[in-house]
Amino acid sequence: MLIQHKKHGGNHHEIELEHGRLHVFANDEVLQTFGDKVYEMADNNLQIPRNQYMSYTPDAHVGIGTCIGTTAVWSMKNGCVSPSIVGSDIGCGMRVHTTSLHKRDLMDKALRRALIEAIEKYVPTNERKNSNYEDIDVMSVVELGLHGLPEKYVPDNQWLTHVEQSKFGFDASYLNQLPPKILKYARGQLGSLGSGNHFIELQYLEINEAYKDVAEKWGLFDGQVVVMIHSGSRSWGGMVGREHNKTIKEAMNQWGVSNPDPNLIYAPINSQEGQTYLNLMYSALNFAVSNRHMIAFGVREAFREIFGASLEMPVLYDLMHNYALKEFHRNQPMLVHRKGATRALPPGHFLNTPVYKETGHPALIPGSMGTSSYIMVGKEEGLKNFYSICHGAGRARSRKATKQLVTVDEFEQSLKVGTEDEILVNHASLQTILDECPQAYKDVDQIIDSIVGASLADVVAKCKPMAAIKGI
């Protein structure tokens, strides 16, 4: 499968496959964990016509049709869009809110437990339980993003400005192609966590001394308590994907287009199928950023219940890692797909949101339950990878294999159960979330080392977990 392997230095590998060139950003230890299937999927992806660029970040692992950890680029003029290289949870991403609290304010385990219970009161973590924001018009949110929310759910303007994008514009007439049942499923899900690897985590910061000035500009300090949120577009994005994966697959059959992997689907950007998918994908991005916003609103209510109504929780940033966006690179418009990959723009880049133009924006990288997460900032050298970095640790083994290989005792040890530094969770039995234990994931410190060594981004702060809320 691998025809040629060229090392560029700095954790940058260029691998020649049968159907094209794959760039991999990983240190030697991480690179050795990549199996044949990872490269086989890349070769399948490279058979999509007129590909301009494709890469893996170090967290890359096998997904459906495409590996998670993929960046793939086509020209907007004659390129393709692939729902498989967007991912099933369209708009899935990260959000961080800061507080004025210090780690020492949450050392009391009883207090942390009360905070977990308060958060669960405001943020549904059970798939069968709906949120209670009946005064929010789902269609307004889908069409207008954060600007479709009632004013009472927008505490201040920072909740609109400190985000990757507050509204994704698209042709709303395409919404007519969605089945009416989508509203039934989406209504009541806005502000709900979802299951799987989605979470709300209470963390405290350790600032990288080399980036202390940037941290201060972002309002960060050593020991600061922050809240990290990971969620996506829920059933809205899920249904957009299911409906239009089917449509594009049927069109591919009619065009006589095939690929070794039946789960890999794509269409020309300028085709009816491509335009339909892109417009509806943007509707799901609006739902996703609004969903994380409303989760954060619920968390803020819970913190105020415990610490008083004067407590504020400013937004640090909100960004996505499953999407395809039109961006300008090499003096031309390109469609950049990121599936399990995070955009990390450097200081001064024109695509930065205005509030982060000077410093570059925070790039939010979660670890796994029981390990550190990271807040990073992009570097100019990131241009070589279209400013994409990792989106997390990346799974090392499947959910089924994790349950077979890892014991609850091992999981308890990784959470420091019974000690003063125990990472509390919202589940009475760890067996129910065993497939999300740290042992299911790659070593996040090695992933970050790969990114820093490749000069794609640097660490501004390490986020140490204190409590985790997982959905079921």
Which residues are tagged catalytic? Answer: 391
Query: Residue 73 in contact with residue 51, Cβ under 8 Å?
Result: yes
Cα dihedral 82, 83, 89, 95, rounded to 10, equals 30
Tokens of 259: 């690929």
**DSSP at 86:** T
| Residue 367 in marked binding region | yes
| Residue 35 in marked binding region | no
Exposed (0-12), middle (13-18) or buried (19+): which is 206, by Cβ within 10 Å?
middle
> HEC profile for 109-143?
HHHHHHHHHHHHHHCCCCCCCCCCCCCCCHHHHHH
| Residue 25 in marked binding region | no
User: C-alpha 452: how far from its chain's center?
Assistant: 19
Tokens of 277: 């998918």
| Residue 201 in marked binding region | yes
| Residue 369 in marked binding region | yes
Cα 330 to Cα 343: distance, rounded to the nearest angstrom:
17
| Residue 197 in marked binding region | yes
| Residue 391 in marked binding region | yes
| Residue 366 in marked binding region | yes
Phi first, then psi, for residue 89 (nearest 5°) are -95, 80
Reported as type and span, the H/E element at residue 436 is none
| Residue 110 in marked binding region | no
Instruction: Characterise 471 by phi-psi region: left (phi > 0), alpha (psi -120 to 50), beta (else).
Output: beta
- The residues facing 97 across adjacent strands are 227, 315
| Residue 40 in marked binding region | no
| Residue 392 in marked binding region | yes
Place of tokens 């509707």: 283
| Residue 321 in marked binding region | yes
Residues annotated in the binding site for GMP, as ranges?
A: 197-201, 321-322, 366-369, 373, 391-394, 470
- As annotated, the binding site for Mn(2+) includes 89, 198, 230, 321
Residue set of the binding site: 89, 197-201, 230, 321-322, 366-369, 373, 391-394, 470
